[in-house]
Structure 1
């Protein structure tokens, strides 16, 4: 009896990702850019999608440069966020590599 409960829990944990993947498998990408969608539209679109789904829309508020209070809302799908983050990381690497050797003061 004591061995059955852990086995059932393990089976449920393995089945959950498969069920979640099937839940949004037939979902199409959003018809308009997520940043142009209202929060209500985004909530309706995300209904039933797991947060790890490639088309799940996530929004972030970022401070506008030069303002102490104004924030811009940026929304992308998980798929697009991966691309944006990868591009930002690549830009940072390129900048760091370009600066190597130039910061040395030669007399």
Structure 2
């Protein structure tokens, strides 16, 4: 039963994307859940500057000297993550500056 539901889900994604299916490869899983082999196969037909190109980064896990986490996103998703982080930093800096100016 779950196979049938998964097949309908994939068919729904293909039909919903319509004309865009030929433009971009379809991501079946989240990039971080994909294996390196799947990512390599996905990236074969793309240039490194393409918005659908997947890039992975390893980050150190806090509290561990050796464990690393692999985080993968498309270029478009990395752009959004960066913009959100920059906005959060600006908001924090602005909040701290306005609080400092309110003291008597």
TM-score (structure 1 length as normaliser): 0.69
Gaps of 5+ in 2: 1-21
Gaps of 5+ in 1: 1-24
Residue 86 of structure 1 corresponds to 83
Shift of 1:103: 4.8
Contact 2:53 2:74 in 1 (8 A): yes
Alpha-carbon distance in 2 for matches of 1:58, 1:79: 10
Contact 1:58 1:78 in 2 (8 A): yes
Q: Which residue of 70, 87, 94 corresponds with 1:97?
A: 94
Instruction: State the structure with more CA Rg.
Output: 1
Q: Report SS of the residue matched to 2:25.
A: coil
TM-score (structure 2 length as normaliser): 0.71
Question: C-alpha deviations, 1:50-88, integer Å up to 9, x for none?
Answer: 000010000000111122211100000001000000000
